[in-house]
Amino acid sequence: MTKDILDDVPSAEFPTMYGNFRIYAFKESSFEHLALVKGDPKGREDVPVRVHSQCLTGDTFASKRCDCGLQLENALLYIGGHDYGIFIYLDQEGRGIGLFNKIKAYELQDKGLDTVEANEELGFECDLRSYDVVAKILGYFGVNSIKIMTNNPGKISGLEAAGVKISGRIPLTVAPNMHNQSYLNTKKEKMNHYFG
């Protein structure tokens, strides 16, 4: 029998520089997702939620090739400063292509391809994320509706298709720098991301 990700959910107190959270772990076969929960969002409407796909290079090393690190920081600052909210950290490195292939894609980008072209060149779809697991995790916390923190309309439609009730959007604004300007332009032009 396949184990459901909600069968065993360890959690612990999790004080951070962004505020005091409770951390939860969800195991989905070989993937390990995390949720940082501020306060008690159970039964609430308009719960601020960030769904963040793991980006080791951006989140941990503050890479300037993307804007993930700053988005992570802004989202945690926002949620940490509110009474309740949820930060979901999906174990889906590089939009699902994995770390090794992400560096391969960077190598191709250094040769002149953009992020979407580089992933296609490697045989990957533009975005492999599945939102069913997010719907399950939000269901676990019993939220009624969420305000999603994103600039990505694909994320909103993906979550809605998975059955998540979205009552609004909180923009995540990150200032471009000389290294990520072309990455941000690609996101805007090819992936229809909102800016501001």
Nearer to Zn ion, 5 or 97 (CB): 97
Q: What gap in Å lies between CA 97 and CA 134, rounded to an integer?
A: 18
Nearer to Zn ion, 26 or 57 (CB): 57
Nearer to Zn ion, 70 or 143 (CB): 70
Active site residue 169: no
CB neighbours (10 Å) of residue 95? 20
State the nearest-atom distance from the C-beta of 39 to Zn ion, in Å: 28
DSSP string for 48-98: EEEEEE--HHHHTT--SSSSHHHHHHHHHHHHHTSSSEEEEEES-GGGGT-
47, 84 in Cβ contact below 8 A? yes
List 66, 72, 143, 184, residue binding Zn ion (CB under 5 A): 66
Element holding 8 (H helix, E strand): none
Quick one: 6 exposed, middle or buried, by C-beta within 10 A (0-12, 13-18, 19+)? exposed
Binding residues for Zn ion restricted to 67-106, rule: CB under 5 A: 68
State the nearest-atom distance from the C-beta of 108 to Zn ion, in Å: 16
Distance separating the N- and C-terminal Cα atoms of the chain: 46
- x/- mask, Zn ion, residues 139-178, rule CB under 5 A, reads ----------------------------------------
The catalytically annotated residue of 91, 114, 129, 169 is: 129
Q: What gap in Å lies between CA 186 and CA 196, rounded to an integer?
A: 16
Nearer to Zn ion, 41 or 92 (CB): 92
List 35, 55, 90, 135, residue binding Zn ion (CB under 5 A): 55
Of 56-64, 72-80, 99-107, 126-134, the segment contacting Zn ion by CB under 5 A is 56-64
Q: How far is CA 67 from CA 23, 29, 43, in A?
A: 24, 29, 32
The catalytically annotated residue of 44, 59, 65, 127 is: 127
For tokens 């990505």, what's the residue? Answer: 152
Active site residue 22: no
Nearer to Zn ion, 55 or 172 (CB): 55
Residues that bind Zn ion (CB under 5 A): 55, 58, 66, 68
Q: Catalytic residue numbers?
A: 127, 129
